C-alpha cells in the first residue's frame, strides 16, 4: 500500500498513515484504510490493531483540493468511498487503540475517534471538527462516530463552534482516554492488556456499545445523502470551500 502501512507482530496489527505532508484523506488513502481494517476484522491471527501516523499531523482531514474539484457524480462516488474507508474502522470488532501526536482535524479527528482507546500526546498541536467552518456537512458515517465518542458538551462545542483546541483543553472537554507524554507507548500497553483477554467477549461488548450508531448508519434514508449533496454544491458552501483553500 502506498499511504497506509500495515505490519503484524505477535498478533497485533500496526497501521500507519503515511501520506505526506499532512495525511489528508484522498481516494487512495481511504481505499487502503478500508482494506487494512477489513483484513484486521477477517484475519483470525490478528487480535487487535494500533493506528498511528507519520509526520506532524495524524490527519488534517479530507483532501479539500481534491474534493473542491469534484462534479456531482464524482462527489457522490467520493462520499460512498468515505463510508467504505471509515466504516471498517468504526465497525471493526477487534480492539483498536489510536495514538495521536499531531494535528487531527475534521475527518482526521473523526478517524481517531473510531478508537476503543484514544491516547493523546502532550504538545503543541490542534484537534477539532472544522466541517461547519468550511461548509461541509457531516456524512452520516462521520457524525455517528463523533456522537458515539464524545460527551454532549464536547460534541456541541466541537461541532457547532468548529473550534481548534490544544490537546489539554480537548482532553478536559472529554476528547480521548489519556493525555500523556508517550501516547504510543500507552496505546500499545492498553492494546496488549485488552488483547490478552477473551476477544469474543470484547467483540460482544463493543457491538453493544456501537450497535445503535451502526443501525442509524445502515438505516439512513437516501434523501439524507441527496440533501448532503445539495448542500455541497450550493453557492454558500462552494464559497466557503474556496475561502478555505485561499
Q: What is the CATH number of the domain that holds 183?
A: 3.90.226.10
Whole-number pLDDT of residue 219: 96
* Residue whose C-alpha cell is 479527528: 109
Query: Does the residue 201 lie in any domain?
Result: no
Which three three-digit cell numbers place residue 108?
482526521
pLDDT of residue 240: 81
Residues 6 or more apart in contact with residue 222 via CB below 8 angstroms: none
The reply to whether 213 falls in a domain is no
- Residue 161: which domain range? 4-194
pLDDT value for 18: 98
Interval 4-42: pLDDT, tens? 999 999 999 999 999 999 999 999 999 999 999 999 999
Structure confidence at residue 91 (pLDDT)? 97
Position 246 in a domain = no
The pLDDT, as a whole number, for residue 136 is 87
Asked, for residue 239, whether it belongs to a domain, the answer is no
Q: What is the pLDDT at residue 125?
A: 98
* Selection from 215, 242, 189 nearest residue 65 by Cα: 242
What's the angle, vertex CA 115, arms to CA 111 and CA 120, rounded to 5?
85
Task: Write down the pTM of the prediction.
Answer: 0.96
- How distant is the alpha carbon of residue 8 from its chain centre? 21
Number of domains the chain contains: 1
Q: Is the pLDDT of residue 246 over 80?
A: no
Q: Which of 37-46, 53-62, 226-235 has the lowest mean pLDDT?
A: 226-235
Amino acid at each position: 500500500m502506498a499511504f497506509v502501512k500495515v505490519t503484524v507482530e505477535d498478533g497485533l496489527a500496526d497501521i500507519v498513515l503515511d501520506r505526506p505532508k499532512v495525511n489528508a484523506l484522498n481516494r487512495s488513502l481511504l481505499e487502503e484504510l478500508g482494506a487494512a481494517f477489513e483484513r484486521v476484522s477477517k484475519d483470525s491471527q490478528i487480535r487487535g490493531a494500533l493506528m498511528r501516523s507519520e509526520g506532524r499531523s495524524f490527519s488534517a482531514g479530507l483532501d479539500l483540493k481534491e474534493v473542491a474539484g469534484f462534479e456531482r457524480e464524482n462527489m457522490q462516488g467520493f462520499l460512498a468511498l468515505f463510508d467504505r474507508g471509515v466504516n471498517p474502522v468504526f465497525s471493526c470488532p477487534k480492539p483498536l487503540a489510536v495514538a495521536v501526536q499531531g494535528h487531527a482535524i475534521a475527518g482526521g479527528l473523526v478517524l481517531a475517534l473510531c478508537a476503543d482507546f484514544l491516547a493523546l500526546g502532550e504538545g503543541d498541536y490542534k484537534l477539532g471538527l472544522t466541517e461547519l467552518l468550511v461548509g461541509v456537512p457531516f456524512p452520516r458515517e462521520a457524525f455517528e462516530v463523533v456522537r458515539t465518542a464524545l460527551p454532549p458538551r464536547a460534541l456541541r462545542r466541537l461541532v457547532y463552534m468548529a473550534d481548534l483546541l490544544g490537546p489539554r483543553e480537548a482532553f478536559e472537554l472529554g476528547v480521548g482516554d489519556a493525555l500523556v507524554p508517550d501516547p504510543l507507548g500507552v496505546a500499545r500497553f492498553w492494546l496488549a492488556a485488552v488483547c490478552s483477554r477473551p476477544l469474543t467477549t470484547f467483540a460482544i461488548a463493543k457491538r453493544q456499545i456501537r450497535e445503535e450508531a451502526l443501525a442509524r448508519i445502515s438505516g439512513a434514508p437516501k434523501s439524507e445523502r441527496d440533501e448532503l449533496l445539495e448542500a455541497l454544491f450550493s453557492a454558500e458552501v462552494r464559497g466557503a470551500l474556496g475561502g478555505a483553500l485561499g
